[in-house]
Chain A
Amino acid sequence: DIVMTQSPDSLAVSLGARATINCKSSRSVLYSPNNKNYLGWYQQKPGQPPKLLIHWASIRESGVPDRFSGSGSGTDFTLTINSLQAEDVAVYYCQQYYSVPLSFGGGTKVEIK
């Protein structure tokens, strides 16, 4: 089974500053035949289900602000939130869909400093 590890567990960022969240998989989620990383990022606000922000490690879902960006390949990935807004306060999860059983990281709580 692939284990996903996120860091940090939480971070406090000033409004307008950058937030960086890391995600590491216990083995590569890059599928060489199509050169795709099977990695998604989700945002979850209290009382709501997770919302898909980014898939294939770096492709933003329709309607997601461009201050959200994903990068990385293989086993190491990053979600960056540029110019943090108040509405970005949430818990963020990475998730691999390379192989079953599918798995999520432990989450990173983003707050305003």
Chain B
Amino acid sequence: QVTLRESGPALVKPTQTLTLTCTFSGFSLSDSGMCVNWIRQSPGKAPEWLARIDWDDTEHYSTSLKTRLTISKDTSKTRMVLTMTNMDPVDTATYYCARSPSNYDRTGYTQNAFDLWGPGTFVTVSS
């Protein structure tokens, strides 16, 4: 069964660093073409893509948040970690991890949509 699940603190204080873990099963970040993303959604707002790590260790970040974000995968290739520094109350949101497997065709690897999501973890930023 293919699943993803986010974990981390429910509450962080302003200026602190948030560390979230995405644990997945049924696939691995060592699978060719596999990519896993972090996406957040503030209450009542549209989802906002944050970052992606690919099977080949390539990292991609949101333009507006890239100075605050770091994404990494552990040696098991079934966990991914996101750190976000200098947290602010506006960062209060549900944080999701989601899979986006690339397909290989005659043009090379082609990115795909987010086909599986974790249930999300809600993070409140407050003193």
Contacts and interface: CB of A to CB of B under 8 A. Distances in A.
Given A34-B106, A104-B49, A106-B46, A55 B61 contact: no
Given A1-B63, A49-B120, A101-B60, A38 B49 contact: no
Contacts of B112: 55, 97
A86 interface: no
A51 B98 CA distance: 10
8 contacts: A34-B107, A38-B111, A49-B118, A52-B114, A55-B112, A100-B61, A101-B49, A101-B62
B118 A95 contact: no
Which label, helix, strand, loop or mixed, suits the secondary structure of the B interface? Answer: loop
Contact of B37 (A34, A55, A102, A106): A102
Contacts of A98: 111
A36 interface: yes
Contact of A49 (B61, B62, B96, B110): B96
* Contact-residue size bin, chain A (C-beta under 8 Å from the other chain): 20 to 34
Contacts of B119: 48-49
A105 B46 contact: yes
